Amino acid sequence: MSDQATKNPRIRQGWLRVIIFGVGFGIITLLVAIPAVLFIAGVKKEDLRTAPVHTLADQLTGSFLWLMLSLECLISLISVWIFRVFVDRKSFASLGWETTGYGAESAAGFFMGPVLLGIGSLLLLLSGRLQWTDVSWDPQSLFISFGLLVLIAFSEELVFRGYILNNLLDSFKNKWIALAISAVLFAAFHITNPGMTSVAFANLFLAGLLLGINYIYTKNLWYSFLFHLSWNFFQGPLLGFRVSGLNLPSLLQAETKGDWMLTGGDFGLEGSVLTMLVSIIAVLILAWAFGRKYKFPVSATPKQETLF
């Protein structure tokens, strides 16, 4: 075992490391990423001052989306690496990038996305609230969209499951509390996304549970990364829905009609109560399946302290 793996963190409490990391990550984002995008996009100071949330949301729908996502990924990677190595005093790989022995669960994570989206789409289709009107085959756009979604899945899983949930597991004896907290933070991170509603926020919380439920047993990121990637890619570039409010070029051209609570409105299928129902059932099934397989969630190594 390496010396780094046996060192104690510089800050003993995992929950405190999460708070400090969140503050640092937020400051870097506010001082570097957002100003860079706003400057390049030519956003006026008056617009930012009078309607900051709306102005930021506009950048997620504009031509500078690629820049914002690239900066988000870079900041996430650098921030997590610095905190993991110099604060946690553990290796970056210890966040959960081991591949050996996790192939089956990684594959299961990848197929969870299209399965759950397929169920939600089928319910909308059967109720007459969804139709696909055309097919637009543009390999270049699909490739670019796939690359953007890889950046999103990688950076968000690295931050919310790899670092935040990993450290919360050091602090909470009840691993479900750690998972719930990480899911709330995950939902809150998307609060400025276009089309955000209370239903969408609840679904993002459920998504945080779905993405992290394997991690509390395995501390491996491949399941959640592939689940996150397949969910976004099948939802947007393939099926034609908005991805958390983001409108990406798609293979199928989808049109929805009727109550936004069923269709998801401008947020996409993630804003639908049908997605909420499917997600709740999926959480219960996965909790049962992983609980039966692993019996007990993994404990933090080394154990620092426990709450509750």
Query: DSSP states of 211-234 as a string?
Result: HHTTHHHH--SHHHHHHHHHHHHI
Q: Point out which residues pair with 246 in neighbouring strands.
A: 243
Model confidence at 302, pLDDT cuts 50, 70, 90, reads: very low
Nearest to 243 by CA among 163, 123, 164, 156: 156
Within-domain flag for 39: no
Cβ partners under 8 Å of residue 199, min gap 6: 261, 264, 271, 272, 273, 276
Arithmetic mean of pLDDT, 190-211:
95
Residue range 237-281, pLDDT digits in tens: 999 999 998 888 999 999 999 999 999 999 999 999 999 999 999
Position 277: which residue type?
L
Predicted confidence at residue 194, as pLDDT, reads 86
Please give the DSSP secondary-structure letter assigned to residue 44.
-
Q: What is the DSSP string of 50-62?
A: H-HHHHHHHHTTS
Within-domain flag for 82: no
Within-domain flag for 31: no
Split into its structural domains, the chain has a count of 1
Within-domain flag for 77: no
Residue range 143-153, pLDDT digits in tens: 999 999 999 99
Contact of 272 with 86, CB cutoff 8 Å? no
Arithmetic mean of pLDDT, 271-299:
89
In terms of residue numbers, what domain contains 208?
96-294
Q: Point out which residues pair with 134 in neighbouring strands.
A: 253
Within-domain flag for 24: no
Within-domain flag for 116: yes
**Buried b / exposed e along 16-39 (16+ C-beta atoms within 10 A):** ebbeebbeebeebbeeebbeebbe
Residue for token pair 């993994």: 298
Residue range 92-125, pLDDT digits in tens: 999 999 988 899 999 999 999 999 999 999 999 9
Within-domain flag for 224: yes
Cβ partners under 8 Å of residue 307, min gap 6: 15, 171, 172, 173
Contact of 269 with 252, CB cutoff 8 Å? no
Predicted confidence at residue 295, as pLDDT, reads 78
Residue range 47-78, pLDDT digits in tens: 556 655 555 555 555 566 787 788 889 999 99
Within-domain flag for 282: yes
Contact of 166 with 214, CB cutoff 8 Å? no
Contact of 251 with 237, CB cutoff 8 Å? yes
